[in-house]
Amino acid sequence: MAFYRPAPYQKPLAGILLLALLALPTVLTAFGQEFYIGFATRVLIFALAASSLNLVLGFGGMFSLGHAAFFGAGAYAAAICLNSGISEALFALPLSMLAAGLFALMVGAVSLRTRGVYFIMITLAFAQMAYYLFVSARSWGGDDGLPLPARMTLGGLPLAGDAALFYTALGCLGLVIVLLGRLAEARFGRVIQAIRENETRMEALGYPVFRYRLLCFALGGALAGLAGALLANLSGLASPNLLQWTQSGTLLVMLIIGGVGYLYGGVVGAVVLLGLEEVLAGFTLHWHIGLGLLLLGVVLFAPKGVAALFGKRHD
């Protein structure tokens, strides 16, 4: 894989997209399609989650099959915050990120001592352990999940309206994309991408590889936690299903469809996958077949992902 470099027209394209998204709730309301504001928020949140996996897998080269554990941990952290009276997003969201990030730090500290298929299996094992822990935690609702008493407030204003939550999710996603874009070209990003390419060489240049990997993994976990916290607000529930390994799989599929290692890979993948699911589910119950065909198509015709078709990277 090549080192990240932004495509020349990436910024104007992102600007246009941002403007369109800013207008989206108003437009949808004008056409009486408010239902889709919630759907769009869901897409943004999954775009954020897939982008956090992109940091770990795309830039860091760590094939984690347990990323949903941090997604779910963020959701539970948010639900626990709200149930214990912390409803301000400016506190609750960073707390959720912190919880998910610390969890990722612990998982990473053990998992990152392994390589290849062992790493995949051990991250999967940790995620499933967390899943069963939450399923059996009665005080947190067991397998029914932990409901939220209400949505968070942002700077004192309630996020009860769908548009308010949409804009919050959009703001978070925007910030994360900017952060990832800067990070990829800064020292840290250079180092983790070089480690992805050739770990031994980096060690031989004097880099403490493990530390860089671990921080990248924990940072990815914290960002997944942010997405989880937002999703809990949207659905009014922190469900153990969020930690299921199938959820990790969904994030991986999104990222692979969108483009691993491309800044907008997670965003494109979330839009394509959830959009298609929405459209196909309107026609048939067997919409999974359509998704399967799409995945085949991507692997055969755009093996680097949909984002690769737009932005030519420096190879």
Q: Is the CB of 102 or the CB of 121 nearer to other proteins? A: 102
Residues whose CB is less than 8 angstroms from the CB of residue 300 and which lie 6 or more positions away in sequence, other chains included: none
CB of 108 to other proteins, least distance (A): 16
CB of 18 to other proteins, least distance (A): 20
3-state SS class at 117: helix
Q: Whole-angstrom distance between the N-terminal and C-terminal Cα of the chain?
A: 8
* Distance of alpha carbon 305 from alpha carbon 307, whole angstroms: 6
Q: Is the CB of 52 or the CB of 233 nearer to other proteins? A: 52
Measured CA angle at 41 (ends 11, 306), to 5 deg: 45
Residues whose CB is less than 8 angstroms from the CB of residue 58 and which lie 6 or more positions away in sequence, other chains included: 255, 260, 261, 262, 265
CB of 14 to other proteins, least distance (A): 17
CB of 126 to other proteins, least distance (A): 25
In which region does residue 231 sit, left (phi positive, over 0), alpha (psi from -120 to 50) or beta (all else)?
alpha
Q: Is the CB of 44 or the CB of 202 nearer to other proteins? A: 202
Q: Is the CB of 42 or the CB of 313 nearer to other proteins? A: 313
Distances (CA, A) of 3 to 191, 198, 260: 10, 12, 12
Q: Do 192 and 4 contact (CB within 8 A), yes or no?
A: no
CB of 211 to other proteins, least distance (A): 9
Binding interface with other proteins (CB under 8 A): 1-3, 179, 182-183, 185-191, 194, 197-198, 200-209, 212, 215, 314-315
CB of 61 to other proteins, least distance (A): 13
Secondary structure (DSSP) of 4-22: P---TTHHHHHHHHHHHHH
Structure tokens that stand for 230 in this block: 């937002």
Q: Is the CB of 81 or the CB of 104 nearer to other proteins? A: 104
Q: Is the CB of 32 or the CB of 206 nearer to other proteins? A: 206
Q: Is the CB of 3 or the CB of 63 nearer to other proteins? A: 3
Whose CA is closest to 305, among 65, 84, 50?
Answer: 50
CB of 11 to other proteins, least distance (A): 14
